A and B are shown apart, each in its own frame.
Chain A
């Protein structure tokens, strides 16, 4: 069974631009959550989706948004990028809410 797939793996943007990251969960998994990892703040929860509905949201500004499609694939978007948004963005999926999370390899975003 294929694991969690995140695209793109690496990307470089400039301040003020926006970015969309994609996550394909493990087949059959309906819950997707997103995390941001930076050297200073560590791993921080962004949001969680289940059956196309956002169940939970972390303490991030409104520039960070996400959505989930009917096939459980998820995207997250960051608008008006700032230098501090440079991070590894990790997606995780689980069969249902509260199940073991399986993480992807992440999308590494660099904002110049």
Chain B
């Protein structure tokens, strides 16, 4: 079973920031939080990942709470092309026998509206 819970769906106005929450209250100390998104009929696309510090790349920012029980993916200026299903995944670290295995939940369907 997935170790994360996410809202089923969210709307966001084009040009505004999209904030996608994720709860992972049972996360272990050495597990990373990964975010992927899947645009309709395409394969999932890696967005960002983090352990405990906030992370930022060209696509998004990841804010992880101090207790690591939840996180938020931020798309700073959402566009229509960001409409997709966003998956928050807790992943075991390198060196674990299960590290190559991702367990996907149902994700959040983000609808960006004009």
Once bound together, how far apart are the Cα atoms of A104 and B44, in whole Å? 8
Contacts A42-B105, A98-B93; A50 near B44 (Cβ below 8 A): no
Contacts A97-B94, A98-B93; A90 near B43 (Cβ below 8 A): yes
Size category of the binding interface on chain B: 20 to 34
Chain A nearest CB from B22 CB (Å) reads 16
Prevailing SS type, chain B contact patch: loop
Contacts of A92 in B (CB 8 A): 43-44
Number of A-B contacts (CB under 8 A): 58
B98 touches A56 (CB 8 A): yes
Contacts of A43 in B (CB 8 A): 44, 87, 102, 104
Contacts of A100 in B (CB 8 A): 46, 49
B99 at interface by CB-CB < 8 Å: yes
A68 at interface by CB-CB < 8 Å: no
Contacts of B100 in A (CB 8 A): 31, 33, 48, 50, 55-56, 94, 97-98
Residue total for A at the interface (Cβ-Cβ under 8 A): 25
A4 at interface by CB-CB < 8 Å: yes
A16 at interface by CB-CB < 8 Å: no
Prevailing SS type, chain A contact patch: strand
In residues 85-103 of chain A, which contact B (Cβ within 8 Å)? 90, 92, 94, 97-98, 100-103
Contacts of B43 in A (CB 8 A): 4, 90, 92, 103-106
Once bound together, how far apart are the Cα atoms of A42 and B29, in whole Å? 27
Chain B nearest CB from A22 CB (Å) reads 15
Contacts A97-B94, A98-B94; A48 near B44 (Cβ below 8 A): no
Contact of A105 among B42, B94, B96 (CB under 8 A): B42
Known pairs A92-B44, A104-B43 / 6 extra A-B pairs, C-beta < 8 Å:
A4-B43, A35-B102, A55-B97, A56-B100, A97-B99, A97-B100
Which residues in A have some Cβ–Cβ distance to B below 8 Å? 4, 31, 33, 35, 42-45, 48, 50, 55-56, 58, 90, 92, 94, 97-98, 100-106
Which residues in B have some Cβ–Cβ distance to A below 8 Å? 36, 42-46, 49, 87, 93-107
